[in-house]
């Protein structure tokens, strides 16, 4: 099939961007979205034109680096997948696709479809870890963890930090990401020790990075490729209020 593309081009964070009209020809429906872009780039390089810059690594929906908006949807129109897992069979011959980077003040554009998501790294560095020295790795069953809590922790830990939640939010809030990182550690006994400092530091860092405020529209959870629940935000807000009261 043949597709018409409207791709965002921008040399850097301080330059003006624009949409470039391109064509994707003889695209197989079995290709992934990124494979389609690879083919387009090959054609551009053969013509002596500059290829589309986009980020990728695992191409298995694990790393979260393939961040782009397709026709207004972060990661494209298919639910619970990253754009690298999106296949061209989702589209039809002759379709027009508008491809953009994440749009958020805290995610400056590096080039074309690549954005700098290091703000997420700084939120993690502020408290998304357990620093207690436990010595050698203990036997797995030495600390009993109820299955309900273990399952909840695992679900929140599936967040890959792609930033789709920020891109979908009208306020560019990072609350779903931050809450997931807070909640999955809070659910485990090992995470209880630093619970208060963790939630205060991580949400404090989130605010420093100039992400917007959360107004609970639910857009973040709706586009999350790992389907992180809005319950994590409610839990993080509750933990934050308790920690702030006790600190004061």
Give the chain's domains with CATH numbers: 3-110 (3.10.20.30), 118-247 (1.10.1060.10)
- Distance between alpha carbon 197 and the CA centroid of its chain, in Å? 24
Over range 75-97, report the average pLDDT. Answer: 97
Question: In the structure, what pLDDT confidence band is assigned to residue 51 with cuts at 50, 70 and 90?
Answer: very high
Q: pLDDT, tens digit, for every residue of 12-42? A: 999 999 999 999 999 999 999 999 999 999 9
Report pLDDT for 31. Answer: 97
Report pLDDT for 134. Answer: 64
By CB atoms closer than 10 A (0-12, 13-18, 19+), residue 225 is buried
* 204 close to 248: Cβ distance less than 8 angstroms: no
| Mean pLDDT (the chain, rounded) | 95
Over range 105-109, report the average pLDDT. Answer: 96
Instruction: Indicate if the alpha-carbon torsion angle 168, 169, 172, 175 is positive or negative.
Output: negative
Question: In the structure, what pLDDT confidence band is assigned to residue 215 with cuts at 50, 70 and 90?
Answer: very high
**Per-residue pLDDT at 248 exceeds 90:** no
State how far the Cα of 46 lies from the Cα of 56, in Å rounded to an integer: 22
Over range 92-110, report the average pLDDT. Answer: 97
Over range 160-182, report the average pLDDT. Answer: 98
**Per-residue pLDDT at 212 exceeds 70:** yes
State how far the Cα of 108 lies from the Cα of 89, in Å rounded to an integer: 31
- Determine what percent of the chain is predicted with pLDDT higher than 70: 100
Beta bridge partners of 24: 3
**Per-residue pLDDT at 71 exceeds 80:** yes
Question: In the structure, what pLDDT confidence band is assigned to residue 138 with cuts at 50, 70 and 90?
Answer: confident
Report pLDDT for 114. Answer: 98
Question: In the structure, what pLDDT confidence band is assigned to residue 139 with cuts at 50, 70 and 90?
Answer: confident
């Amino acid at each position: 099939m043949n597709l018409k593309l409207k791709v965002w081009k921008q040399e850097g964070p301080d330059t003006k961007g624009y949409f470039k009209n391109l064509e994707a020809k003889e695209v197989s429906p079995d290709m992934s979205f990124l494979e389609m872009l690879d083919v387009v780039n090959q054609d551009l390089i053969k013509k002596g034109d500059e290829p589309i810059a986009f980020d990728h690594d695992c191409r298995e929906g694990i790393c979260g680096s393939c961040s782009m908006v397709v026709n207004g949807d972060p990661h494209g129109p298919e639910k619970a997948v990253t754009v690298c897992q999106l296949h061209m069979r989702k589209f039809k011959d002759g379709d027009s696709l508008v491809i953009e980077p994440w749009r958020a003040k805290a995610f400056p554009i590096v080039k074309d479809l690549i954005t700098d998501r290091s703000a997420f790294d700084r939120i993690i560095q502020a408290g998304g870890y357990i620093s207690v020295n436990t010595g050698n790795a203990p036997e797995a069953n030495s600390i009993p963890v109820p299955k309900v809590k273990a399952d909840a922790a695992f679900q929140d830990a599936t967040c890959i930090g792609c930033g789709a939640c920020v891109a979908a939010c009208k306020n560019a809030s990072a609350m779903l990401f931050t809450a997931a990182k807070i909640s999955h550690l809070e659910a485990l006994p090992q995470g209880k020790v630093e619970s208060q400092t963790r939630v205060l530091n991580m949400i404090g860092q989130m605010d420093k990075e100039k992400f917007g405020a959360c107004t609970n529209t639910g857009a973040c959870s709706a586009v999350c490729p790992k389907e992180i629940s809005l319950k994590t935000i409610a839990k993080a807000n509750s933990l934050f209020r308790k920690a702030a009261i006790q600190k004061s």
